[in-house]
Structure 1
């Protein structure tokens, strides 16, 4: 008899635990569903009705509400967080991905989280990915693999200027002065980031042209040395 009683008590406790777990899951799912509903509502505040996406004019309205300029690097960081594929456009899926990751379902929350997003992107472990993404995001045509010099200069200033001001300023000056290159590809883009990380500047004492640097950087170093003498 005591054994049967113990079994019944165990079953009772187990049922209570299961019920408690079910209630928690139900409440959690309900909260998650409500959050997604608010995220979607926010999306449609800015979305273009005919395309079903947030288009350039919607992004401008979003920037206005966030009190940031549409050329602010944090807008690009937001696109990175959403993994947005097309420059100037956010799909509903991309919007959901970004805002769920940031835990934002209102403009007020999104505005508050921008400084944290900036810190996240600038961590070394994330920045290389963001730097690559910035280049890909600016490839606006199908099968496009390079970006014109003028656009690259603006992008370098936006993405890398805060960290390597002197290198970026001199490289931009060089790019505008030279006539051999009309465009920059991903290999050259990534090569310049490696250059900023590895090469002593402005003395360039550890630059070895025999190593696998893109030719444009050999030319940049020659230009810098000529400028210094």
Structure 2
């Protein structure tokens, strides 16, 4: 006679029990997510302007005070990057929700720790190029604006590249301040500055080849440095 399996098919009551457990888990997860979002929103509206419904420059200053971070600190720019904030000096509720969910921060204590840890995330090579290009776009404050004034670029270079490439940044900023050919910098030139600092031997420029389609401003910068050395 053929052998029969000793295993029994699950009874309706067992299947029903499993289904109930899954449903309870989903409901609990949904409630937890809802509560987290509620706390994130509460934190947002503690800094948001009553009239505009967004966190404006005054609200960001209050936030910085609670985070114990200066409003000019690069970590605030990193927070804006994580929120993917579109307008400089302003955070919308949707940007806030997106960023704080990603940071798993639903109160000021968690956010303070997350902002400190954010620097490690940004410094990863896979993230830094995105952050660097975002920093330029964040400075485009007018509609259809495609370039940033030299003074702002000098501040931004020191802020985002200073820690990694201080000698290069110092020299580049010095040149940008004394040159008279460029009043503004565009995105191609901005990205060229990063590539230059990352790839070119400094201060001898031994591997710099002007025929490799570097922005003209960098050709001029290299000529300026070499002329100073005589």
If the length of structure 1 is used for normalisation, what is the TM-score? Answer: 0.96
Q: Partners in 2 of 1:76 and 1:48 — Cα distance?
A: 20
- What corresponds to 1:145 in structure 2? 146
Tell me the alpha carbon deviations over residues 115-138 of structure 1, each in whole angstroms, 9 at most, x when there is no partner. 211100010000000000000000
Instruction: State how many pairs are aligned.
Output: 226
Q: Partners in 2 of 1:211 and 1:10 — Cα distance?
A: 73
Q: Partners in 2 of 1:10 and 1:215 — Cα distance?
A: 77
- Secondary structure of the equivalent of 1:54? coil
1:36 aligns with 2:37: yes
- What corresponds to 1:89 in structure 2? 90
Please, which runs of 5 or more residues in structure 1 have no aligned partner?
none
Please, which runs of 5 or more residues in structure 2 have no aligned partner?
none
- What corresponds to 1:219 in structure 2? 220
- What corresponds to 1:191 in structure 2? 192
- Secondary structure of the equivalent of 2:148? strand
> Offset of 1:227 from its aligned partner?
1.5
- What corresponds to 1:66 in structure 2? 67
- What corresponds to 1:178 in structure 2? 179
- What corresponds to 2:229 in structure 1? 228
- What corresponds to 1:129 in structure 2? 130
> Offset of 1:194 from its aligned partner?
0.5
Q: Partners in 2 of 1:13 and 1:168 — Cα distance?
A: 68
1:80 aligns with 2:81: yes
Q: Partners in 1 of 2:15 and 2:215 — Cα distance?
A: 66
- Secondary structure of the equivalent of 2:210? coil
Q: Partners in 2 of 1:35 and 1:108 — Cα distance?
A: 14
- Secondary structure of the equivalent of 1:147? strand
- Secondary structure of the equivalent of 2:212? coil
1:23 aligns with 2:47: no
Q: Within 5 A, what are the aligned runs for 1:151-170?
A: 151-170=152-171
| Runs of 4+ with deviation above 3 angstroms | none
> Offset of 1:11 from its aligned partner?
2.6
Q: Partners in 1 of 2:160 and 2:15 — Cα distance?
A: 56
> Offset of 1:187 from its aligned partner?
0.4
